[in-house]
């Protein structure tokens, strides 16, 4: 029997890590986590389009318990940028 455990990061817990983000992006983009690297962009991940980016933002908000400013959407075009934006939101 397989048991699935969902990790929910909150403001009180540690900041989101690259590994946390990688797994969440792989789930949202329905790809192997190994395909998500620190160099990943919409050009390198086939399923990374504007609709899936919105799905990712919703998943990030649910996972971390923070709200991501929609004005930051154009800045979320790389893994490091997404991680920085989420960590900044968590630190507020």
Answer yes or no: is pLDDT of 1 > 50.
no
27 within domain boundaries:
yes
pTM as predicted: 0.83
CA–chain centroid gap for 39, Å, is 14
Print the domain residue range for 54.
18-91
39 within domain boundaries:
yes
Q: What is the number of domains present in the chain?
A: 1
**pLDDT, average across residues 27-31:** 97
7 within domain boundaries:
no
**pLDDT, average across residues 70-89:** 95
- pLDDT of 68 reads 94
d(CA 51, CA 2): 31
Answer yes or no: is pLDDT of 5 > 80.
no
What is the 3 state secondary structure string of 74-92?
A: HHCCCHHHHHHHHHHHHHC
Answer yes or no: is pLDDT of 46 > 90.
yes
Q: Indicate which CATH number applies to the domain containing 80.
A: 1.10.1200.10
Work out the number of other CB atoms within 10 angstroms of the CB of residue 1.
2
11 within domain boundaries:
no
d(CA 92, CA 47): 30
4 within domain boundaries:
no
- pLDDT of 12 reads 45
40 within domain boundaries:
yes
């Amino acid at each position: 029997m397989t048991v699935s455990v969902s990790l929910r990061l909150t403001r009180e817990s540690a900041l989101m890590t690259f590994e946390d983000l990688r797994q969440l992006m792989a789930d949202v983009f329905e790809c192997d986590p190994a395909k998500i690297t620190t160099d990943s962009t919409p050009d390198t991940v086939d399923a990374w389009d504007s609709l899936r980016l919105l799905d990712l933002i919703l998943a990030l908000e649910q996972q971390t318990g923070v709200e991501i400013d929609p004005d930051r959407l154009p800045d979320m075009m790389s893994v490091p940028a997404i991680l920085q934006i989420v960590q900044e939101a968590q630190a507020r």
